Each structure stands twice: as C-alpha cells, then as structure tokens.
Structure 1
Amino acid sequence: MIKVILADDENLELEALKIIINKKFKNASVVGIAHDGDEVIEMNEDLNPDVIFMNALMPGTNGFEVAKIIKKKDENKKIVLMSVYDDFEFVQRALKIKVDDYLLKPIRPEKIIKILDEFINSDKSHALEKNKSILLGNIKNHYYKESKDTLKQLIECLEKFSICESQKYSEELVRDMIDVFDIENNKLNNNVDYKKNFNSCLDIHDIENNLIDILDNLFDMLIYNRNLSDTDELKFLLNYIEKNFRNNIMLQDVADHMKFSSPYLSKSFKKHIGTNFNQYLTNRRIQEAKKILKNTSTSINVLAFDIGYNEPNYFCKVFKKLEGMTPVEYREKHRNQI
C-alpha cells in the first residue's frame, strides 16, 4: 500500500485531493493531512509516507525547505510541490532540490492520477528488483532459508502485477536462478518446460508453488553436482533441516539424502554447530511454534502436528522444558504485550 501525505493551508484543496486519491486507488491511501511545513516534517518522521503532495508556500517552514530537509534524509522519497505561481524561478528552485514534480493550481484530477500511477509502478518494480537481487545473492551463497524467505517477499511484490506479467517475470527469474547455480535446464530436471509450467498457472499461488519447487530442485542438485567443502556441507545440512523440520525426520534421513554416513554427519554437525542434530531440530521446531503462537489462533494440536510432532502432549512437554511455560501460557503472555 502506497502511503500519501497531503499538505496545504487550504482545506478545500486538501479534501479534493483526498477524495481523488481514495476513490481512484485501491493500493494508495492518504495517511496524513498537514496544514504547515513543520507538521509535514513531523508526519514524515512518524508515518514514513511514500509520497508527499505539498503546497510550495505554506505557513511556517515552506514547501521548498521541507522538501530539502526530507530529500536530504531520503532522496528516494517522492515529493510533489504545488503552487499557483507559473514562475521559472519557482520551477528552477524545485528542480535544484530534486523534487519529483511541480504542479500548478488548480490541480486537475487526471494529473494527480497520472503522477501516482507512475510512482506506484516505479515503486513496485523497484521492490521487485531489490528482492530479486537479494534472492540471487542468497542463492549464490547457498543460503536456503534466506533464499526461500526472500522468494516469498518477491512473490508478494508480484501480487501487484497481472497474472500474465507475473508468469513472464517468473520465467526470467528462473533463468537467472539457474545461471547463478550454473546448472543447465536438462541437468536440473529432465524434460522440464518452465515456460509451460508458468503458463498453466491460474493465480499467484500456482506461481509461488512452482518457484519454490524449482528453488528446492536447484538446492538438491547442488549436492550431487559439486564437490562440497566443509562450509557447503554445513549449509546443505541446515538447508535440508529447514525444508523438512515439519516432517518426522532423523539424522539418518539427512545422511541418506547427502550421501554421507550417519556417524560422519553427526560428528560434523556437532563440530560446526556446537550441538547435536536432535537438539538443533527441536530448537528449530520450537522457534517456529513460538512464531505461530504469537501470530495466529491455530490450535495447539494442529500446531504440534504442523511442526513435526505426532503427539501434542509431548510437544507441550518439550515446549515447557525449553521456554519455562506451556504453549497456552506463552500465547496469552504475548497477546497481552501486543
């Protein structure tokens, strides 16, 4: 959601702008209205808006000075100055402090719509590319959990695009992911037609499932296509746990998957992590349980099964041993803190 602040000493002008924005945009909202420059500076700190529409000549600190102060802290903040003066000196002054647009009053609705449309499209594309860059960096460094988390953030960005745009972008993304892994398509998975896969996606959830499957395949392929260093062994071991901790896994499952002996993997795990496999797995499950307890109303029984415990009572016993309270007590405590 794009957050907008409106600033003017004329109430009618403010109300008109607010109506236009709230009526025409589902993904933009007016979060604050200011009547002087000092209010704008304060609101910018408190609300962190994406866009500010502001009268160039307001009481107190004028719009030019406010824009200069805000741009100095965050040059990417979108600021539009508004004025009744069609004066070259005003425009030149606005350009000097790098405001994003200068509008003459009275403001035409279509001009506001055009400017916000451009800002929104620019913002969502920027967020998409930023997450893509982070994702490819995580993949290059073999960080599975971080890659998956960033991929989910990227998919949230894709939700702002049409399904056709998302399909096309996903195809390009997969090619970039494969380039980072330096694995050809046919080595990754024989007879996989990624374009066909994405073209058959009906919604963003289908795209998400496809991308996660491909990410998982890529990480699995690394185990079989590279001579692993000690660091890589550790990363892939942790990656496997991250992908499978919700299942009933044991060290032998990991050893079989990575083509190592169980004793070797146990010794390596203890050496690099400082704890044994079972303790690490338990800590990861309890960490996930705490997140679910704080953020959802999922029942304790469902939660236990969801994070890999077949017996809810045993889960409660483990949770209390590690956290000093039952899952129900933990949930109540954190609800009271919200």
Structure 2
Amino acid sequence: MVEKIIFFKLNKLLERALLQMIKKNSETELKVYSIQKEDEDSTKNLFKNEYFRGAFFEYTVNKRDSCKKINIINQLSPKTKIYVFSNKITDELVSLLEYRKINKIILMPLSYQDVKQVITELSDSKNIDVDPTVIKLRRLIINQQFKKTYSELLAICSKLKDQISSENISDELDKIGQLILKSDENSKKLKFFSDFDLDLLEHKSSDPIIEFFIFELMDIFYQNKLIQKKPIFVDVFKYINQNIESDLYLSNVASQSNISASYLSREISNEFGFSFNKYIQVKKVEDAKKKFYFDGEKVIDVSFKLSFSEPSYFSKIFKKIQGETPIQYKKSILLDKEKAGSKK
C-alpha cells in the first residue's frame, strides 16, 4: 500500500535531505507531495479529497500560515500526523503539542536519527503520539510548586526510563530540557553529560541519570522563575549553587546576598513550597546521590564533604527525603549497575 505524505513550503535543502532519507529508510512506499504555494481554500479541498499519512511544516518561516493549515488538517483529517521543523522550542509549539494538534517537533539543524524514526513510524503505519509523560512533567513544573513536583519525581522518572534508550540518553534528555525550558540558551546549562559519558559506557544504567537530570532541570526552572520576579535572587542562587557543599544557613546566605533573612525565607517558601533549610537539604541529598553513583564515595566521606556535623544526622536527613538510608541507596544503585552490566 502506498502512503502519502506532504511537505508544506519546506526550503529546498531541507526537502532534498528528507527525500534522500525517505528513499533510504522507508520500509513501504511513501509518495511525497511538495506544496510551495497553497492558500487555505486549496488546503481544505486537498484534505477533503486526499488522505495524507503525514504532513511536514517548517516553523521558522510563515508561522501564522502554518498554524492556519495545521488547524485545517486537524479539522478535516485528524488521523494525519503533523511534524514541525523548528530551530527552537517556542510557547506556541509547546501549546500545539499539549493540545495534540501536532505530533512531534523536530529541532534543526536536522537530526538524522529523529527523521529516520519518523519515517520508519510512518511507513510502519504506527500511531505516533506526543509523549504524555513529558507533557505531564512540563505542566507539573509550570503549574505547581517545587515541593509538589519533587514529590512526584521518582514516579515521573520511572515512566521516562522506559522511553529513553541509554545509547542516546544525552540527546533525548536534552530535548526534554529544551521542551521544558523552551530555550536553547537555558538548555545549554543542562549539558553536563560530558562528565558522565564514561560511566554510561561502563554501566549502561540510565535510571539514576534521568533522575539527576530531571532534578537539575526543575531546579533551574524554579530558580529562573523566582529570578524573573525578583532579580536580586541571581546572587542568592549563584551563592547557593557554588557553595552547596558548605554550611548554608539562612542568615549567612542572606548576608552574602545583601537581603534580609526574613525576606529570603518568605520568597523561597512561596516559590518552592519548602522552608529555606529544607530546600538546602534536598539539594544536598541530590548532590550526595551523585557522589554515591558516580564516585562510589563512602557515606561518612560524603556526609562530611557536604558539611553535616555527624554521619548519623546526614543519614537521618537522607532517609527523610529519599525514603531510604544512604547505605540502602548505595546498595540499590550497585544492584542497578550489576543488572545493567549483565545486559551487555
């Protein structure tokens, strides 16, 4: 069976690249239509009389025109899968994803792997859908306090791990970061995978990596959110992030940032849903988990490195936040690595 797909006003270079990929990777015959000039009435007539498996738009140009045609396709041919090429994630595109008006954003410069996946799915006649877990994560982060999102972190990561391959983990998580932060500039802050590559190659275990990434993602988001409201918090978070291993008391952070302790406490509580001290404890526990996973450090060493007065107090805080003791956590990640290693 011949499946039809349609290109709407794609630039010639992009169109040529797609045609080459289709020819090389399509498992069934895909007939390609290329439309360079098409008004709304013509688009309506086209989709009334023809069924297209997929429609491709370039969102960097003719945004308004593209949105109109996307709406027409949704009304007349709801089974048509819509893909949008864009050089960045925008609020408009995220809204289209959230309301399921488009099926995928393909970031440019063009990724061969992304396009190959789309072409394969089209030729297999599979139903391609927006990843609901990522959409839920974005809605949760945008609409809820840090505390609420953090309470669901493990559940979200558990769902994500089944959808992300360890071979492409850095690329796939970076795309999630761009979707949440909607900015290439912000997402660059999340590119910390270069330090993790050797570990990934050795252990092939993606579960903790996903959790570490999502925590950093949400932490950056909420910090930036408060900074946009109160620019003075640039200094607050800069000091906290750079000194997370030190003793971070409300009074000394406030003093370093030239604001009152009561003001700092109130704003952190309002934005994050945690007291200042609890927020710092959460960040220290997340930092400890990285030290356990990547460096295999001992509990006693990590507790002192993070400026806890006693290992027993560190273990108490860790269990209260993580739900298990540091020793139990270390055992679980060791087992996780062993299982991942056995799959090599």
Q: TM-score, normalised by structure 2?
A: 0.35
Q: Which has the higher contact order (CA 8 A, sep 6+)?
A: 2
Normalising by the residue count of structure 1, what TM-score does the alignment of the two structures yield? 0.35
Larger Rg: 1
